[in-house]
Structure 1
Amino acid sequence: MLLWFKALHVFFMVAWFAGIFYLPRLFVYHAECEHQPTRETFKVMERRLWWFVTPFALLTLVFGLGLIHIYGMEWFRHSHWLHAKLALVVPLYFYHGYLYYLMKQFAADNNRHSPRFYRLINEVPALGLLVIVCLAILKPNF
């Protein structure tokens, strides 16, 4: 059971991250686009992608919490690497929500940011993922 939860947690995390890596890239192209029919296509792509990956974000959370439950609260209390990991994961859920907000601005033709802004925020989850994976694999003692 434990290994299934780990496998599903990792699978849904990878699928979620694929979406939150790609959605800001779509925003870059959308912000650069002047052709209205193409902009409408971007709106559809962005909406569909966000709704496609959101269940993956939720299932990542469900299986992560399931792992904590399986290992037990005593293990959780002593796993300081996990506390650091969770301190990085929580902002990623807020980032996911922020992508929804940006998507809604594009949908209303009310984009307020440059393509450069979207290029910069596209890097945020990659840096977070690097540290999260290192914490999960190395499990450093703090």
Structure 2
Amino acid sequence: MLWLKAFHIVFVVSWFSGMFYLPRIFVNLAMEQEREHGGGVTTERLLLMARKLYRFMMMLSVPAVLLGLWLAWMQYGFKLPGWLHAKLALVFLAIGYSHACGGVLKKFERGVNQRSHTWFRWFNEAPVFLLVAIVILVVVKPF
């Protein structure tokens, strides 16, 4: 069980690293879009980085979620405690956020992004709050 926990933590940390950095690339893409109306060398390089990071991030999310579900099943079976229900809800939001990043990336690739770099700076904060709440639920188990 400790090996499963260790690998679960490694995959979660890696997945969230992608969720922390990909929106930062979106900030830079939006700034380039405002500066040169997209299409420049910098924009293409940032899009390439974003595509690779998005694929990597999504690949890492799968084992993170599967190992987490396996651990929950091994420890609790069908009787999940309240804190774990809340954690799973937040994980569901994290999965949604990851997919939303894919939608944003597609908009940048098509050149139809309408959001400002300031909006993406705020968008960039969501995974921080998700991670803090998830870690508190797992460690403190408040209910």
Provide TM-score, normalisation by structure 1. Answer: 0.93
Q: CA deviation at 1:72?
A: 3.7
Q: Which residue is equivalent to 2:68?
A: 64
CA distance 1:78–1:24, change in 2 (3 Å): closer
CA deviation vs aligned residue, 1:94-141 (integer Å, no higher than 9, x gap): 110000000011111111100011000100110111011001001122
Identity of aligned residues (%): 37
Aligned residue runs from structure 1 range 37-56, under 5 A: 37-56=41-60
Q: Which residue is equivalent to 2:115?
A: 113
Taking the aligned partners of 2:98 and 2:133, their CA distance within structure 1 comes to 18
Could you tell which deviates more after superposition, 33-42 or 59-68? Answer: 33-42
Taking the aligned partners of 2:74 and 2:4, their CA distance within structure 1 comes to 9
- 2:63 is aligned with what amino acid? L
- 2:87 is aligned with what amino acid? K
Structure 1 vs Structure 2 CA RMSD: 1.1
Q: CA deviation at 1:26?
A: 0.3
Q: CA deviation at 1:27?
A: 0.4
Q: CA deviation at 1:40?
A: 0.7
Q: Which residue is equivalent to 1:18?
A: 17
Gaps of 5+ in 1: none
- 2:28 is aligned with what amino acid? Y
- 1:14 is aligned with what amino acid? V
Could you tell which deviates more after superposition, 103-112 or 63-72? Answer: 63-72
- Give 2:104's match in structure 1, choosing from 102, 105, 113: 102
- 2:13 is aligned with what amino acid? V
Look up the SS of the partner of 1:113 in the other structure.
coil
Taking the aligned partners of 2:46 and 2:80, their CA distance within structure 1 comes to 46
Look up the SS of the partner of 1:110 in the other structure.
coil
Provide TM-score, normalisation by structure 2. Answer: 0.92
- 1:136 is aligned with what amino acid? V
- Give 1:129's match in structure 2, choosing from 120, 128, 131: 131
